[in-house]
Structures are given as C-alpha cells and as structure tokens.
Copies of this chain bind each other. A is one copy, B any other.
C-alpha cells in the first residue's frame, strides 16, 4: 500500500467537479495521505502541456493520480502520459452517452459553467434573500421563501440556508426558536402562515453544548442542561405543528440541505422544483 500519493484535479473549467469526484473516491482509502492540487482552466493543448510539465516536475517518478474532466480530446491525450495514473472521468461516459442519445456531443470546454443568465440571476437573488432573512429578520417577506428552517440557537440554520441558496438556488430563510417561543410552545403567525415551507433542525445536546461553549464558554446559554431543555422544547413545538425535523449532528451541510428539501417534497404536493 502507498502511504502518500500526489493527486491533481485538472479541468477546462473550475476543477471543482474533478475534485468532488476525486474526494468521493479517495475517502474510501482513509489510511493513505493524499497531497491534492487543483489545476483549473486548462482549455487547449498549450495549457495541457504546461499542466503536464508542472505535474511531472512536482511528482515525477512517483506515479501521481490525475483526475481529469476535460471534454476536448486533444488536451486529454496530451495529459494521458505513461508517467502518471490518468483518470479520464468524462470522456468514456460522453462516448457512451453519444450512443445512447443518438447525438453528437459539442465537446466545448467549460461549457457547463458558462453562466446561463437566468440560473445565475436566480442564485444571486437567492443568496441575497437568504442573507437578508437570516436569524428571523424580515419575517413579513416569508411569503417569498421557498424553505424556512427553524431551530434553537446554533443548531446550524445559517450555514444550511446559505448552502441551499448558493448551491441549489433556493430562497431560504431561517427563524431562531428563542425563549419567548420555546417557553410558550408556539410559533408566531408570520411563520405559521408559511407552515408548508417549514423544516425544523435539531441536534444532540452534547453537540449543541460544544458549539455554544466555543462562542460563549461558561455561560448559562451554553450549559448542557440548557441545551437539553431547549432541544426538548423545540421538539415539542415541531410535534405540535407537525413540522418535519432533520437531525443535524454528524452530518455535513450538504446532507442536511438535501434532507431538508426531501422532507419538504414529502410534506407537500410535488411542484416544479421537485
């Protein structure tokens, strides 16, 4: 077994996809240390030669792994050197797709990231909406929200909302369950009007305690028994109003975001965002 491997993510665009694929694969080998580098914007033969020279200089003789998502044939052939372990992630699939779809692929570099104006405008709007509706602000505009996350302080609402907006284009608001709601086991009217958009976030008392200690160590707010009590009160509110709930502990931001959208899909009729 190799103990260390150099890994390169090479792409005609951002190399974010190549990195995502590489990481999903390499995490299945937790005993090996990987030195990773992204080489984005490799658009032609000259770029490919430069990238190859860089890779060979840095990792020559140690068979680096190269994960490549370039769609054009020529730069790919240049990079596919005998001195590296070359993984062509898109090429073979693209060929099979041409056969399945009975169509010819464009093979235009960076095409997938060319900004479709509508999609871009939608994501930009969603990001601004989510920042402007963070932490219970502007609740009167909740009728524009496509998802609203509720939960106690530090249960992870803000990062998940920001992810939903940035990556998935949803207008995501979030509402903190503070003492005035927890103690009364009720939600405000502005929120109840949009109940079909509402998803609750919960966590374990221990994880919440750790998050809060980091910011306000030693406070009553951060104490384990306070966390336990608030999470129980929040759960009673979610039960009372039949709000779907996602447990966040041990899960990534992506997983919580996708689980929240799935929960909404299950709770309401299927729309165009299905």
Contact = CB atoms under 8 A, between A and B. Distances in A.
Chain B CB within 10 Å — which of A131, A250, A252 has the most?
Answer: A252
Contact of A89 (B21, B29, B38): B21
Interface residues on A, range: 35 or more
A114 B253 CA distance: 10
Contacts of A97: 25-26, 28-29, 65
Interface of A: 1-2, 5, 13-17, 20-21, 23-32, 37-38, 40-41, 63, 65, 69, 71, 85, 87, 89-90, 93-94, 96-97, 100-103, 105-108, 110-115, 120-121, 123-124, 127-128, 131, 134, 156, 158-159, 162-163, 165-167, 214, 250-255, 257-259, 262, 274
24 contacts: A1-B101, A14-B257, A14-B258, A16-B254, A17-B21, A21-B90, A21-B93, A23-B112, A27-B111, A27-B112, A29-B97, A29-B103, A32-B103, A37-B274, A40-B258, A41-B259, A65-B100, A89-B93, A113-B251, A114-B251, A115-B250, A115-B255, A124-B159, A162-B162
